[in-house]
Amino acid sequence: MSKYYQVTVNGTVYEVEVEEIAAGASSPAVEAPKAPAAPKAAPKKAAPAAGKGTPVTAPMQGTILKVGVENGQAVKKGDLVCLLEAMKMENEIFAPCDGTVTSVSIAAGQAVATGATLITIG
């Protein structure tokens, strides 16, 4: 036997149907929610920088959006070397000194941890 009721939620009126079940009768089976799919594996971290010189490290964890330099490229202090996305914000990473890029340890789309070496300037 079903009963109908009007329920008001946050000012909106809903009509609901409620079924009455006899004592001892089982209610219809409800399927348990399925577990969410397992997250994709994180990309492998780049090998440690082999170049000698000044390392440019990630100030925070995030994802590399753009690499602005190549191995062997000359850079000046203040040149943009890469773009790091962290917490939905784009962070520009600049060269801390003049020199030549001796190694690039990152690629676009790669996740990096705080303090990870991004590039090395010799």
pLDDT of 46 reads: 43
Map tokens 């090998």 to a residue. Answer: 47
Closest to 120 (Cα-Cα) out of 101, 94, 92, 98: 101
- pLDDT tens digit sequence for 66-114: 999 999 999 999 999 999 999 889 999 999 999 999 999 999 999 999 9
pTM: 0.57
Q: How far apart are CA 43 and CA 40, in angstroms?
A: 9
- pLDDT tens digit sequence for 15-64: 888 887 777 666 666 565 565 655 555 444 444 444 478 999 999 999 99
